[in-house]
């Protein structure tokens, strides 16, 4: 089993949106689950709105439980676990980073958000895990905004940047409220293309090109 941790000290960065969209896209070809470590239980609420089904959302209330839950998920046949972490999570974020194979840091390409990534950058450096910033909720057509943000993040904080950007799209808002994902909301929409591209890239990073067991969505 491979594990992705979605981390960011900043609230409202889009951690849960990224977690549910990525895990649900993965669930089309793999057995995936979301470990919700956020006391606000946003991913769990999304699962309730969804009426259950894949990807399952399992909550985890304490950092000391996380390793055991991941080990059991692997025993139960999971190919992928996506850990959604809360903002301002100290011990939990460190534990998630320690246990994950890939760290994704959603970040809006805006000055306040970029500045707040410093502490997260230190966390991922100390974990020595492959880590990428995923630009999220920025303007859809403003390449210079992303270029400037990328030069700050790559230069000042030494973080890598995922090749796929998830710009602000209405599909993320409409789908979340219905317990769905952007590709489920509009399979031909731009957000759907971007989520598929991000998952294709992430599974490559994880070496998950062939999942143990294909499941129907």
Please give the residue ranges that form the binding site for other proteins (CB under 8 A): 9, 31, 33, 52, 56, 58-69, 71-73, 76-78, 89-94, 118-120, 122-123, 126
7 versus 165: smaller Cβ distance to other proteins: 7
CB of 36 to other proteins, least distance (A): 11
41 neighbors 59 (Cβ within 8 angstroms): yes
119 versus 177: smaller Cβ distance to other proteins: 119
122 versus 204: smaller Cβ distance to other proteins: 122
CB of 65 to other proteins, least distance (A): 6
78 versus 100: smaller Cβ distance to other proteins: 78
Q: Phi, psi at residue 92, to the nearest 5°?
A: -65, -45
**145 Cβ contact partners less than 8 Å away, ≥ 6 residues apart:** 109, 138, 139
CB of 217 to other proteins, least distance (A): 15
Closest C-alpha to 124, from 148, 146, 102, 107: 102
CB of 17 to other proteins, least distance (A): 22
Q: Is 141 left (phi over 0), alpha (psi -120 to 50) or beta?
A: beta
133 versus 171: smaller Cβ distance to other proteins: 133
67 versus 200: smaller Cβ distance to other proteins: 67
Half-sphere exposure of 50 (CA within 13 A, CB side): 22
Q: Is 88 left (phi over 0), alpha (psi -120 to 50) or beta?
A: left
CB of 133 to other proteins, least distance (A): 15
CB of 172 to other proteins, least distance (A): 25
């Amino acid at each position: 089993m491979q594990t992705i941790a979605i981390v960011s000290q900043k609230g409202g960065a889009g951690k849960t949106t990224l977690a549910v969209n990525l895990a649900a896209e993965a669930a089309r070809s793999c057995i995936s689950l979301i470990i919700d470590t956020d006391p606000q239980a946003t991913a769990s609420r999304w699962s309730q709105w969804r009426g259950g089904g894949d990807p399952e959302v399992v909550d985890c209330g304490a950092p000391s439980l996380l390793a055991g839950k991941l080990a059991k998920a692997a025993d139960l046949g999971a190919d992928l676990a996506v850990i959604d972490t809360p903002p301002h999570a100290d011990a939990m974020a460190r534990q998630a980073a320690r246990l994950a194979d890939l760290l994704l840091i959603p970040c809006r390409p805006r000055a306040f958000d970029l500045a707040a990534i410093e502490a997260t950058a230190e966390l991922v450096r100390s974990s020595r895990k492959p880590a990428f910033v995923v630009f999220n909720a920025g303007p859809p057509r403003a390449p210079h905004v992303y270029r400037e943000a990328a030069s700050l993040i790559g230069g000042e904080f030494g973080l890598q940047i995922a090749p796929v950007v998830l710009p602000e799209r209405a599909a993320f808002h409409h789908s979340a409220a219905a317990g769905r994902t952007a590709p489920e909301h509009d399979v031909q929409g731009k957000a759907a293309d971007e989520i598929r591209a991000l998952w294709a890239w992430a599974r490559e990073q994880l070496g998950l090109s062939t999942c143990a067991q294909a499941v129907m969505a």
